[in-house]
């Protein structure tokens, strides 16, 4: 990954986090974190990976994110000074769940 793409990823992550903190309504006791951003080489698309806690609120919060995607895209278009602003796409980050499953398996193996 080039330094330019890394900088774009960090910039998009920071701005989306800023938008969420200021403008996004979350249910009581729910946490939403942008874990990472993966922008394509041509800057055409940016995949925004999200972690939502607790698990029973994932559907509701993710639906609201997708519903407000255009508003968030508009915010990015206004905030970022770039020739081409990537189109954003939200995804659930399952990396943390995989790590947890692997750790549980390792702990089970250690007990044997």
- Read off the CATH number of the domain in which 88 is found: 3.30.300.20
66-90 tens-digit pLDDT: 999 999 999 999 999 988 899 999 9
**What is the number of domains present in the chain?**
1
DSSP designation for 59? H
What is the domain extent for residue 57? 3-111
Give the tens place of pLDDT for each residue, 4-52.
999 999 999 999 999 999 998 899 989 999 999 999 999 999 999 999 8
Q: What is the mean predicted confidence (pLDDT) over 58-65?
A: 94
Instruction: Report the Cα–Cα distance between both ends of the chain, in Å, rounded.
Output: 42
Other C-beta atoms lying within 10 Å of the C-beta of residue 32 = 20
Place of tokens 């790590």: 99
Closest CA to 76 of 89, 58, 95, 94: 89
């Amino acid at each position: 990954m080039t330094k330019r793409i890394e900088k774009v990823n960090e910039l998009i992550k920071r701005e989306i986090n800023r938008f969420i903190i200021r403008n996004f309504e979350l249910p009581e006791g729910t946490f939403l974190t942008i874990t990472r951003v993966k922008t394509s080489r041509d800057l055409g698309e940016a995949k925004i990976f999200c972690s939502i806690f607790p698990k029973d609120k994932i559907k509701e919060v993710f639906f609201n994110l997708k519903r407000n995607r255009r508003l968030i895209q508009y915010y990015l278009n206004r905030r970022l000074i770039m020739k081409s602003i990537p189109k954003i796409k939200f995804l659930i980050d399952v990396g943390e769940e995989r790590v947890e499953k692997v750790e549980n398996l390792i702990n089970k193996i250690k007990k044997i």
